[in-house]
């Protein structure tokens, strides 16, 4: 087997082992406080499609479809079909309300062997919201919404390597221009980009089993900070690093199984740890997040505050230079807990019927999104339909519980996948 296959599998396995630490560094995640990283425009990071949504959100290295524009644009360089268009729909947070939903329209087109283009439109409706004043009097009803428009380009560097680039415009209108406390609010406007890279080896056999191996990495949503009024703080959007591996084993002419593993990390500064000391709001540990976009991306790898130490009286222990002591190893432990793990399986029969399953894990101190997914697909002639279901394992009250996703796909080549396979 290709040596790169072993290298990247080993690399991902190493990251996976350390993503959720066990305490070997002298500290564990039980020593840490809840410290969730929040961003503006979080809808940009919601999985839009049912295929990856049925595999634990492990979509970075999956075989190319039109929704690769979201996951990894460079992957469409290796698509077998010339073009595809898809429409996805997700009723969102059904445990809380019944009128929030995400819609996603995506396509790609292969101009030739080297050049491919694509695009997507994402629309997120927050349903109907009633705005009230401080006394509870109704001001008006509104239907806040957000959308994102994406243009994509992929360039095939060689038989096995490809790069991709997305340009994005996003608009977030959450208040409808409402005046709050004498301050006029405004919509958030974002310009952003995605960068992606793929290594694809379609001749990566294991023993007598033929297969294809994919390694991919992306940095998503590199864009400006957002404020919803002239006086409010500007917040980061969900910039995200993803490292994906996938291996597709072709057992015979009818059966294939894909194994996928993603590691994902927000490239957004971690909130520092503050407390009131002698009547003053004081930073105990960590770093300020009042930095620029690129500085914030770099800082996100080393700014976790860790677990501050206290004495028997509950007072923070200070060093000789006036800084506060942090439990040894706890900063590293917290950085590692910010890596989310997603894994999934996909079985195809005759490239007509697929069944999927997956799991997603996020540390309890960083949001506690922990769930399993199942899904299925059916293809007939030019059409395909995907379905997925999410079941939370982090608690019955999780707002993500029972999330459904639906995707309708159209192969614009005019041939069914079975016909293509037989040629």
SS3 state at 218: strand
What is the chain's pLDDT, residue by residue, as a tens digit (423 residues)?
444 444 344 444 444 444 454 444 466 777 788 899 999 999 999 999 999 999 999 999 999 999 999 999 999 999 999 999 999 999 998 878 888 999 999 999 999 999 999 999 999 998 888 777 777 777 777 888 999 999 999 999 999 999 999 999 999 998 877 776 677 888 899 999 999 999 999 999 888 889 999 999 999 999 999 998 887 789 999 999 999 999 999 999 899 999 999 999 999 999 999 998 888 899 999 999 999 999 999 999 999 999 999 988 888 999 888 889 999 999 999 999 999 999 999 999 999 999 999 999 999 999 999 999 999 999 998 899 999 999 988 766 788 888 999 999 999 875 544 444 444
Q: Are 355 and 383 in contact (CB under 8 A)?
A: no
Name the token pair of 401: 């519980």
| CB-CB contact of 113 with 129 (8 Å) | no
pLDDT value of residue 414: 55
Place of tokens 């294991």: 206
Sign of the Cα torsion 147, 224, 51, 420 reads: positive
DSSP readout, 226-284? B-SBSSSPPB----EEEEEEEEEEE-SSSEEEEEEEEEEEE-SPPPPEEEEETTEEEEE
Beta-carbon contacts of 171 under 8 Å, excluding residues fewer than 6 positions away, are: 146, 147, 148, 187, 188, 189, 190
The DSSP line for 140-187 is EEE--EEEEEEEEEEEE-SSSEEEEEEEEEEEEESSTT-EETTEEB--
Contact 284, 308 (CB under 8 A): yes
User: What are the structural domains of the chain?
Assistant: 3-422 (2.40.160.40)
The C-alpha atoms of residue 245 and residue 344 are separated, in whole angstroms, by 11
What are 119's two structure tokens?
A: 């695009």
The pLDDT tens digits for 46-70 are: 999 999 999 999 999 999 999 999 9
- State the Cα–Cα distance between residues 5 and 338, nearest whole angstrom: 26
pTM: 0.87
Tell me phi and psi for residue 275, to 5 degrees. -155, 165
Find all residues with CB under 8 Å of 89, minimum gap 6, and list them: 101, 102, 103, 104, 405, 406, 407
Give Cα 90 to chain centroid, integer Å: 16
Tell me what pLDDT residue 26 has: 62
pLDDT score of 314: 86
Neighbouring C-beta atoms of residue 118, cutoff 10 Å: 28
Segment (H or E) for 16: helix 3-19
């Amino acid at each position: 087997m290709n040596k790169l296959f072993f290298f990247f599998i080993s690399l991902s396995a190493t990251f996976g082992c350390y993503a959720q630490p066990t305490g070997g560094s002298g500290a564990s995640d039980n020593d840490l406080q809840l410290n969730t990283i929040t961003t503006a425009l979080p809808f940009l990071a919601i999985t839009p499609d049912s295929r990856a949504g049925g595999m634990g959100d492990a979509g970075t290295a999956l075989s190319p479809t039109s929704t690769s524009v979201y996951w990894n644009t460079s992957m469409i360089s290796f698509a077998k079909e010339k073009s595809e268009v898809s429409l996805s729909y997700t009723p969102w947070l059904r445990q809380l309300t019944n009128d929030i939903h995400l819609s996603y329209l995506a396509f790609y087109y292969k101009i030739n062997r080297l050049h491919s283009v694509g695009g997507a439109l994402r629309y997120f409706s927050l349903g109907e919201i009633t705005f009230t004043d401080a006394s509870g009097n109704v001001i008006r009803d509104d239907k806040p919404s957000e959308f994102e428009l994406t243009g994509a380009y992929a360039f095939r560097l060689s038989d096995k390597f490809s790069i991709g680039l997305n340009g994005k415009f996003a608009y977030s209108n959450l208040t409808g221009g409402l005046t709050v406390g004498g301050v006029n609010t405004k919509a958030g406007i974002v310009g952003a980009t995605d960068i992606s890279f793929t290594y694809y080896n379609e001749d990566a056999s294991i023993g007598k089993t033929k297969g294809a191996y994919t390694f991919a990495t992306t940095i998503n949503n590199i864009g400006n900070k957002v404020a919803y009024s002239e006086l409010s703080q500007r917040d980061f959007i969900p910039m995200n690093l993803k490292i994906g591996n996938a291996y597709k084993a072709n057992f015979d002419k009818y059966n294939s199984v894909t194994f996928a593993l993603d590691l994902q990390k927000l490239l957004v500064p971690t909130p520092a740890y503050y407390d009131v000391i002698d009547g003053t709001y004081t930073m105990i540990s960590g770093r300020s997040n009042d930095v620029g976009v690129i500085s914030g991306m770099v800082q996100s790898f080393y700014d976790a505050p860790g677990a501050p130490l206290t004495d028997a009286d509950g007072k923070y222990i200070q060093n000789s230079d006036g800084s506060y002591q942090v439990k040894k190893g706890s900063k590293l432990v917290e950085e590692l807990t910010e890596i989310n793990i997603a894994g999934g399986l996909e079985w195809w029969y005759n490239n007509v019927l697929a069944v999927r399953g997956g799991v997603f894990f996020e540390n309890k101190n960083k949001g506690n999104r922990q769930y399993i997914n199942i899904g299925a697909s059916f293809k007939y002639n030019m059409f395909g339909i995907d379905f997925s279901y999410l079941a939370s394992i982090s608690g019955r009250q999780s707002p993500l519980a029972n999330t459904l996703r639906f995707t309708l796909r159209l192969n614009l080549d005019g041939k069914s996948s079975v016909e293509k396979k037989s040629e």
